Amino acid sequence: MVLASASPRRLDLLARIGIVPDAIDPAEIDEAPGGAELPAEHARRLAAEKAAVVAARHAGAIVLAADTVVAAGRRILPKAADADAVRACLKLLSGRRHRVLTALTVIDAGGVARHRLSISIVIFGPLTAATIERYAVSGEGIGKAGGYAIQGAAEGFVRALSGSHSGVVGLPLFETRALLIAAGLSLPHG
């Protein structure tokens, strides 16, 4: 099994269900949203493209790819490149509801692609300017979709979550497990 991601969080999440990939091979594709692309379409497209690129390099392997998008309404929030982007994301998310969409694509050894989309609703409590500043300078949100990492200090911002916690982290384990079993992977926990 090949994981088409360099994310240490996805690797850790797979380990929780007893899976250690045989290889890790990030796809390195352009992840910019297309024109009027909606968040779900964007996440699905990127997961499918990542899986296809990596499957072409690993014929006969099971390939797992994922993409996580944080959306406020129809707006796709960026992966925060720096502390300023983290600040902007948190100001937008403060005191409001947003969606975290993680799309999965698994391509089996015969080349058949299967897809799933996990949608979670996250509600942040109001964040003070000082809280946003401390989090932004901590560096934890840099490189993360929406400018935060729910598995870190930002979990303290979450007033409510409906959906998959692991999906918000970046790999919804229920859907991942189902897709891998359908692709023929034998899992240690059945």
The three-class DSSP label of residue 71 is strand
Residue 12: C-alpha distances to residues 52, 82, 105, 116, 130 (Å): 23, 24, 18, 20, 31
Q: What is the separation, in whole angstroms, between the first and last Cα of the chain?
A: 16
Residue segments in the chain with a per-residue pLDDT below the cut of 50? none
Per residue in 130-155, pLDDT tens? 999 999 999 999 999 999 999 999 99
Q: What residue ranges define each of the domains in the chain, with the CATH number in brackets?
A: 2-182 (3.90.950.10)
State yes or no: is 67 an active-site residue.
yes
Tally: H helices and E strands in the chain: 6, 7
Q: Are 139 and 147 in contact (CB under 8 A)?
A: no
Q: What is the pLDDT of residue 181?
A: 95
Q: What is the pLDDT of residue 177?
A: 95
Among the listed residues 67, 82, 84, 108, the single catalytic one is: 67
Per residue in 94-116, pLDDT tens? 999 999 999 999 999 999 999 99
